[in-house]
Amino acid sequence: MVNIDDFHEAFTRAEEEIHFAEMVIGSLSSEDDDCISGNQPRGIVIPAINELRYAAKHLSKMLQVNEESSQFQEQLQRAVRHCVRARLDALKAVVLFLARDFYSFTGDYKKLRLSQEDREILNSHRKKIWDTLNSLARYRAECTDGDCENMKEAIEDLHQIYEDTESRRGIYSQLMETISRHDKSTLWQWGVGVVIAIVFFILGKWF
């Protein structure tokens, strides 16, 4: 049994989570980020906004029936559920954004020969992200306030992963530049060696 106050609280909390998601994604996004939807990376909160639209739709239907009608309570409960889903979708948007950033990071430096310690740390990060992604479907199906709180805790862990990978990005980029310079130097030496060999071969034919 829910009432209008329950709806108001659920709607307010959903708006807060959407604002939180927009702030986090907006602060971590760069101008070069590819857009997932909309004109900016923060467009991934659109599913959450849509849930609030569905909530408003059910609220509108509720207002069209008598308060004593079973439809009144049913429509109100649906409206509240959509608000909870909006919260969850907003938090899910943050999780997906952070996960995307991690997999982009590992893709950028997949050619590096990392130390055993680095590999273990990144594998631990990967497992944490994978477990969180796997939980999304279950949370979405059950859709409770507790699920939203669990998701917020997961986001805190993933944000720490983000900070760790950002600190490694500079180090790994320097390693990539060093390897690139070495490869270019090796290629140049190889090319010069081939030219010299050809010249001596031709001179040997003539003399």
Q: Which two tokens stand for residue 170?
A: 């500079």
Lowest-confidence region among 12-21, 138-147, 161-170, 196-205: 196-205
Q: How many CA atoms lie within 13 A of 184 on its CB side?
A: 6
Q: Which two tokens stand for residue 106?
A: 């590992």
Which domain does 102 fall in, by range?
4-206
Lowest-confidence region among 125-129, 140-144, 150-154, 189-193: 189-193
Confidence (pLDDT) at 188: 44
Confidence (pLDDT) at 126: 85
Cα diameter, the chain:
111
Tell me the H-state helices in 63-144: 70-108, 116-142
Confidence (pLDDT) at 74: 92
Is 36:92 a contact under the CB 8 Å cutoff?
no
Q: Write the pLDDT tens digit of every residue in 134-182.
A: 777 676 655 666 777 777 777 888 888 888 888 887 777 776 666 455 4
**What would the mean pLDDT of 52-67 be, rounded to a whole number?**
91
* Mean pLDDT taken over the chain: 77
Q: What span, in angstroms and rounded, lies between the C-alpha atoms of 62 and 57?
A: 9
Amino acid letter, 108: D
Confidence (pLDDT) at 176: 61
**What would the mean pLDDT of 111-136 be, rounded to a whole number?**
82
Q: Which two tokens stand for residue 186?
A: 């090796």
Number of domains in the chain: 1
The residue ranking higher by pLDDT, 52 or 153, is 52
Lowest-confidence region among 9-18, 56-65, 127-136, 196-205: 196-205
Q: What is the DSSP letter of 35?
A: P
Q: What is the DSSP letter of 34?
A: P
Confidence (pLDDT) at 50: 92
Residue 142 to residues 3, 74, 136, Cα–Cα distance (Å)? 21, 18, 10
Amino acid letter, 67: E
Stated pTM of the model? 0.71
